[in-house]
Chains A and B, each alone.
Chain A
Amino acid sequence: MKIKNLTRKLTKFHYWLAGLTAVMVAGVIGGLIVFAKGLVVTNLTDLVPWGLWITIDLSSIALSAGAFTLCAAVYLIGLREYQPVARTATFIGIIGYSMAMLCLLMDIGRPERFWHAFVFWNVHSVLWEVTMCVGLYFAVLTLETLPIIGHSEWFVGRWPRIAGWLSKVHHYAPYLAIAGLFLSMLHQSSLGATYGVLKARPLWYTPSLSVLFMASAIIGGISLTILASMIAARVSDKANVDDALLEKLAHFIGWALVVYLYFRFWYTFSMTYTYEPGRTEGLRLLTKGPLAFNFWFGEMLFGAVIPMIILLKKEWRARAWLRMTALALVIGGLVAYRWDVNLSGQLIVLTYLQDEINAFYTSYSPAFIEIVVGAGVIAFGVLAFTLGVQYMKVVDHASTEHAVEVHVEPV
């Protein structure tokens, strides 16, 4: 009897939460196994030391780029109408960076030493710069999220005084936007440079990777913000969106994809003019080898061309489900791009002999435990966003928060 009553009370929302929690628990168990046994349980090797987790890490950071882009648009460029979207983007941002840091914690061999980069500086290292920026930007995101918490009914009802203090942080939004822009532009591009500075890896060794990482992050970050808002508005009564606003943003993504596609295409195929050991083989991997499906379909056709056309055509963009599909494809394209960049350079092993530099192919596919832990991290992100929508109204375009006047005294 009791069980029957209980099952009757359970809504789809509860099942959704339970499902995500189950995946998260599996991820935690997987994580504990990795901590206990070491990274030997993964499929990573000395030839391919960066795999699925690094891809998720890179993708999470890139897909969080909506936060800095939209905050800059609202508070620095002055496009005030987008303030509620920037609010959603900020919340997605703090979740994305948490996911990235969780992945890194899993991936590094000595997770208890994660803080070393903050103490032992090597200013020559791109990865050091990325670590510092990610750490500092996480602090910025935390400050930017405080007013969101402070404004949630759930919080105000319990601790009105603290909520008042938290809301006040919103007065500093323009300053935080400056800091966020500065730090994000540094590390979003440097994540590309992490690969781009390595002379020993000819396929990576170009300045273009920074530009492409930056551009794709802005596109993917805004896309995720729009998509997540649209989904939330359709499944939750706590979320409501101004569709005209999201449509305009989606239109921008369409044009941004034109620029991105041009650079990505030009960059990839301008490399083929001369044979260079390692570089030509890397291109083969992308265009004909094991990464070819990812490259042609994941990145190019479905990741850029099709969503570009949908988002540029007014009638198609106006249809919610078509727009959502396009945005989902853009996000998939970004993840495929990160996966391809990370692997294409590593799967080519160059010999170091004087007379002949030969290139060999190696392979990598993630172990089951890598997939479980990765899924756990993603489930954590989705769960956090769900709770945010439900209890902090992070997708609320009717929010009165933007009515808060922002006063900046002349310095």
Chain B
Amino acid sequence: MTEKKQTVGRREFLKLALGGGAAVASLKIAKNASASKPVGSSPHKWAMVIDQGKCIGCEYCTNACRAHNDIAPDISWNRVIVSSEVNGEKIYVARPCMQCEHAPCVDVCPVKASYYRSDGIVMMDYDRCIGCRYCEVACPYNARAFNWEKYTGDNPMVPEWGEPEVERRPRGVVEKCSFCYQRVDRGLALGLTPGLDPEATPACVGACPVGGRVFGDLNDPESQVSQILKTRVTHRLREDLGTGPRVYYICPENSDSLEA
């Protein structure tokens, strides 16, 4: 065999290998792209509105969240942060998970442990998470927390702020706010309306003593969140990133509390 023939053969092999590989990969990717559609088929699209003008920074929302979701003391799914001070009065921003429409955490997860439910909730599969923490690095809202150690011992928020409704997460996985999907799902099964019936609504909404949080269905034009978004000036956090958060905020200057 001549050297030339050998080179040609190799080059052709290279072409074939690359072409074949690309074809197989594109088929698989096409198949997977359709599989990455939201899980389930829900007619709802859940969203939350938080009125910063009403928020007094009492952290009742955080406490209720800790009890109902059985969260370790060093982790918080719902932070209440002082964002600024106006005329000596503190302005707070309460930050649950934004339940982004285009969530960076879902994009980067190597194992699809973070995924979209068809009702818009960004869910965590704690049995699948490998604990690589890429989602933590990717989330613009610091909404995620890693279980650096096993959470043992009593939850100091129970029973004063409610009873745990979900399993404690094991050591070594990342966790975050789930819009209390367990309350929403159970409520719907019982024929309740999330947003109207407190049992079917995220715990933080019901715990707010000043009615600063509203929860509801964006697909229902009559829902309170749809009405607020239609008639009021709202904003979302880091809208410039294109993540499409489903948590909306009303600034103090546009707040209900001024009209009341």
Partners in one complex: yes
Q: Are B93 and A353 in contact (CB under 8 A)?
A: yes
In whole Å, how far is A388's beta carbon from the nearest beta carbon of chain B?
29
Q: Are B1 and A407 in contact (CB under 8 A)?
A: yes
In whole Å, how far is B28's beta carbon from the nearest beta carbon of chain A?
8
**C-alpha gap A355/B253 in the complex (Å):** 13
Find residues 356-380 in chain A having any chain B CB closer than 8 Å to their own CB.
Answer: 357
Q: Is A37 an interface residue (CB 8 A)?
A: yes
Given contacts A127-B134, A200-B138, A352-B238, contact A109 B149 (CB under 8 A): no
Q: Are A127 and B108 in contact (CB under 8 A)?
A: yes
**C-alpha gap A345/B107 in the complex (Å):** 19
Q: Is A60 an interface residue (CB 8 A)?
A: no
Given contacts A40-B149, A110-B172, A125-B109, contact A46 B138 (CB under 8 A): no
Instruction: Report the count of interface residues on A (CB-CB < 8 A).
Output: 54
**C-alpha gap A183/B139 in the complex (Å):** 28
Find residues 135-189 in chain A having any chain B CB closer than 8 Å to their own CB.
Answer: 174-175, 178-179, 182
Question: Which has the most chain B C-beta neighbours within 10 Å: A47, A110, A355?
Answer: A110
What 1/0 mask marks residues of chain B from 114 to 149 whose CB sits below 8 Å from any chain A CB? 000000000000001111111011111110111111
Q: Are B9 and A410 in contact (CB under 8 A)?
A: yes
Q: Which residues of B contact A113 (CB under 8 A)?
A: 111, 128-131
Partner of A120 from the list B107, B128, B136, B241 (CB cut-off 8 Å) is B128
Q: Are A116 and B130 in contact (CB under 8 A)?
A: yes
In whole Å, how far is A105's beta carbon from the nearest beta carbon of chain B?
10
What 1/0 mask marks residues of chain A from 380 to 398 whose CB sits below 8 Å from any chain B CB? 0000000000000000000
Q: Is B189 an interface residue (CB 8 A)?
A: no
**C-alpha gap A44/B10 in the complex (Å):** 48
Q: Are B138 and A121 in contact (CB under 8 A)?
A: no
Closest B residue to A197 by CB, please name it.
B108
Q: Is A199 an interface residue (CB 8 A)?
A: yes
Q: Are A128 and B241 in contact (CB under 8 A)?
A: no
Q: Is B230 an interface residue (CB 8 A)?
A: no
Given contacts A120-B112, A123-B32, contact A409 B9 (CB under 8 A): yes
Partner of B137 from the list A37, A182, A346 (CB cut-off 8 Å) is A346
Q: Which residues of B contact A345 (CB under 8 A)?
A: 137
In whole Å, how far is A340's beta carbon from the nearest beta carbon of chain B?
16
8 more contacts with CB within 8 A, not counting A46-B142, A200-B138, are A108-B172, A110-B130, A116-B113, A120-B113, A123-B36, A125-B108, A182-B21, A411-B9
Q: Which residues of A contact B (CB under 8 A)?
A: 37-40, 44, 46-47, 49-50, 76, 107-110, 113-114, 116-117, 120-128, 130-131, 174-175, 178-179, 182, 194, 197-201, 345-346, 349-350, 352-355, 357, 407-411
Query: Please, could you name 9 A-B residue pairs with CB atoms under 8 Å apart, sorted by A?
Result: A40-B148, A47-B142, A117-B111, A122-B111, A123-B36, A199-B241, A201-B137, A353-B93, A354-B249
Q: Which residues of B contact A (CB under 8 A)?
A: 1, 5-6, 8-10, 12-14, 16-18, 21, 28-29, 32-33, 36, 83-84, 93, 95, 104, 106-113, 128-134, 136-142, 144-150, 171-174, 235-239, 241-242, 249, 251
